[in-house]
Amino acid sequence: MTGHRATRLLAAGAVVLSVLAGCSGGGHGSPSGTSGPSASLSPAQVVQLALKDVERYWTATYPTISGGKPFQPIQGGYHPYTQSSPPPACGGEEGVYQPNAFYCPDGDFIAWDAEQLIPQLQSKFGRLLVVLVFAHEYGHAVQYRLGMTDQPTVVLEQQADCYAGAWLGDAKAGHSGSFTGITPAQIDSALAGLLQLRDQPGTSKANEGAHGNAFDRIRALQDGVENGATKCAGYNEGNLPITEVPFTEERDAESGGNLPYDQAVDTLVKDAEAYWAKAYPQLTGRQWKPLTVRPFDSGSAPACPDPDTIADGAAFYCPTGDFIAYDDQRLQALYEAFGDNAVGLVIGDLYARAVQHRRGQSTQGSAGQLAVDCLNGSWTNDLLHRDPRTETTKLSPGDLDEAVAALLAFGRGTSGSGASGFDRIAAYRNGVLNGLSACK
Ligand SMILES: [Zn+2]
């Protein structure tokens, strides 16, 4: 978040997944088939199964988006590389080791860092993320086959994410022989990994290499899961909501767009209060009564007979006392782990809970949690749509990703509501993109 405005772009930072322009290639590596998702697959085995299964998916699906033309699998081969054995040249550019995975259109090949990137992604986030990385790269091959590459990079990246999601939707539906029984927990873990593959915060969406922030990328992936490859194929600059924004001033870029903790909490609470004073009457036809906010030290929460808690009791709304409370040390830890808008996500969740209780609606179970997430997102929608010339509080690059990261951190295992992180992000995004009216 920031309290100012102005004029400087941060140079594009490291982008982990990239598509290079131009290349040359060799033979078609055929993945030898271990079958079934045994727990002990090596990263190399997962990659082989992934490429084979994504190829299966496109063989079946490509004709539906190509006007009936058959799919031609990758012709230039699959090239794992290491620091001592760098990737093949691509489009006249010498192959240089990077912790990366890429599709090379010139040679029609896919290459990846088999030494660090892929093993790390698998051990930290599970094999599903590895498959999604390859489904994404294969998505770029599909774009070239369709002749649909004349779009800004950020659109092409979201489309490749959408295609990866289309593969995931197909696998979830039971069509993959290799990746079966995919669980919500595996998907949430893969989404957490995607957060690490985002652009550096502050990359302008007009930047040559912009891949999009994680918020937009997860949206595209979910779009593919829910609506399939035909929806992805229709992506263009005019029909995608792209929320990525550059840093608007030097000071903001230097701080990473983060306010100091105390100032962040103070600013966010005031802003949430002002938002609901305006929004609650629209929702209910009734006036909003200011909400009491009580920070507490770990272990000494204010008494409440019926707390509606989040994050294992680190914060709660108290219906009987009609106040919200949060563990100051734990909120600060969250701030340090994810950034200032992770605090915004918690404050927004607590206010949304208060809204639900005050208007006699549930916050419990999956539906209640998703309603809270949508209302929380509606506040973010309001923040995104303010006039930057007159407003002092506004979102910085990375704020939406911070919110999604915090949401996934809570959504996994701790909420007990039955709503997956995947569903919670979708509900939050619905509020962010469509505003309060989407949450009624
Ligand atoms: Zn890409």
**Residue 98 Cα to ligand 1 middle (Å):** 15
Q: How far is CA 334 from CA 176, 246, 256, in A?
A: 38, 24, 16
Q: Which two tokens stand for residue 188?
A: 């949430």
Locate the DSSP E strands across 6-123. 78-81, 101-104, 109-113
d(CA 204, CA 201): 9
**Residue 142 Cα to ligand 1 middle (Å):** 12
**Residue 214 Cα to ligand 1 middle (Å):** 13
What pLDDT, on the 0 to 100 scale, is given for residue 82?
A: 96
Answer for the pair 172, 225: CB distance below 8 angstroms, yes or no. yes
**Residue 278 Cα to ligand 1 middle (Å):** 41
**Residue 69 Cα to ligand 1 middle (Å):** 24
Q: What is the mean pLDDT of the chain?
A: 83
* Per-10-residue mean pLDDT, the chain, length 440: 33 26 27 45 96 97 97 96 94 88 93 95 95 95 94 89 97 94 92 74 50 82 97 92 57 63 92 97 97 96 94 90 96 88 92 97 92 96 79 73 82 63 92 92
DSSP characters over 91-108 = TTBPP---S-EEEETTTT
Residue 308 is inside which H or E element, if any? strand 308-310
- For the CA atoms of 388, 392, 397, 399, what is the dihedral angle to 10 degrees? -130
Mark out the alpha helices in 203-327 (DSSP H runs): 214-233, 250-255, 261-284
**Residue 56 Cα to ligand 1 middle (Å):** 20
**Residue 161 Cα to ligand 1 middle (Å):** 8
What pLDDT, on the 0 to 100 scale, is given for residue 361?
A: 96
Amino acid at 98: Q
**Residue 255 Cα to ligand 1 middle (Å):** 28
Name every residue whose Cβ is closer than 8 Å to that of residue 321 and which is 6 or more positions away in sequence.
292, 302, 304
* Residues 168-223: tens digit of each pLDDT: 999 999 999 899 999 998 999 999 888 777 654 444 454 544 566 788 889 999 99
What pLDDT, on the 0 to 100 scale, is given for residue 18?
A: 29
**Residue 158 Cα to ligand 1 middle (Å):** 8
CA count, 13 A, side-chain hemisphere, 328: 11
**Residue 377 Cα to ligand 1 middle (Å):** 27
* Residues 225-244: tens digit of each pLDDT: 999 999 999 999 888 876 65
Residue that is written with structure tokens 């100032």 in the block:
263
CA count, 13 A, side-chain hemisphere, 127: 22
What residues does 79 pair with on adjacent strands? 111
**Residue 203 Cα to ligand 1 middle (Å):** 15
Answer for the pair 424, 191: CB distance below 8 angstroms, yes or no. no
**Residue 139 Cα to ligand 1 middle (Å):** 8
